Amino acid sequence: MVDSLANWEYNKHMNTANTILKWTATAILIIGTAVNGLGMYPEGPALLVLGGFIWLIVAVRIKDAPLIVTNLVMSTVGLAAIVYTLHTEQVAFDAMGEAQQLREQLRAESVDSDTK
């Protein structure tokens, strides 16, 4: 009797925690979708990754294989896309800076050759 009461309390606690996690993840996904729709990058995709990751935690806790696969893949792909895009933007930004330095150097050389 004591064992079943303890089990009931544990299940009640787990169900409450899972419910809170589910609704939190769902709210984050809805907000992330709205932010994404407004074109706010990387905030929108980052919220979608966070919501998917929280759903992944829930899926593991309740041992739901389709939810595990869906949220693991979506979170991984979303995170990889953010990292790739930010890295690509940084490379492009660095290249623009190098091009600007080269233009300034060529201008300076041109001015020097004109004054000679």
User: For residue 105, what are the domain limits?
Assistant: 2-115
Query: pTM of the entire structure?
Result: 0.72
Count: domains in the chain: 1
Tokens of 93: 């930004």
Residue 52 CB-half CA count within 13 A? 20
The DSSP code sequence of the chain is -HHHHHHHHHHHHHHHHHHHHHHHHHHHHHHHHHHHHTT-TTHHHHHHHHHHHHHHHHHHHHT-HHHHHHHHHHHHHHHHHHHHHHHHHHHHHHHHHHHHHHHHHHHHHHHHHHH-
Backbone angles phi, psi at 64, to 5 degrees: -105, 100
- Please state the rounded mean pLDDT for residues 31-41: 96
Read off the pLDDT band of 105 (50, 70, 90).
confident
- Please state the rounded mean pLDDT for residues 34-55: 96
Look at residue 5 in the predicted model and tell me its pLDDT.
60
